[in-house]
Amino acid sequence: MNGGDCPGPVFPYFSHVFAPSIFPSMRHFPRLRWWLPGLLLLLPLVAVPIGCFSGPPPTAKIFAGRPAPEFQTYALPHGRQIYAAQTGNPDGPLVLFIHGTPGAWHDFAVVMARPDLAERTFMVAVDRVG
């Protein structure tokens, strides 16, 4: 069934059912028979990380039709500054967003743009000390 001089396939079920039915011309090339299915299996491992590096959407797009956050710069000792974006009801409870590394305040912009939260809470997203 495999040409006599070629070793048997690693997964006999797939070589009998999957490969000949989808790739009928591949049965004459036993080593290439697994190349395309193997590549298709590896594609999500490459495609998913690429989507992870796209970053958050632009802030203007997130806050379209809603009040944009106010930006404050606070002076710290030794000449350093901290930058913060704030929005929401100043009389509500404080929700403080602190990002990790790498990151920026706009990583939380999607949450800060929610009108239901803006009515009830005062949200502050802090950038790293710079």
Query: Token digits for 60?
Result: 């203007």
Question: For the chain, what is the radius of gyration of the CA atoms?
Answer: 27
Average pLDDT taken over every residue of the chain: 75
Q: What is the pLDDT of residues 49-97, one digit of tens each?
A: 555 555 666 777 888 888 889 999 989 888 888 889 999 999 999 999 9
The burial class, CB within 10 Å (0-12 / 13-18 / 19+), for 113 is: buried
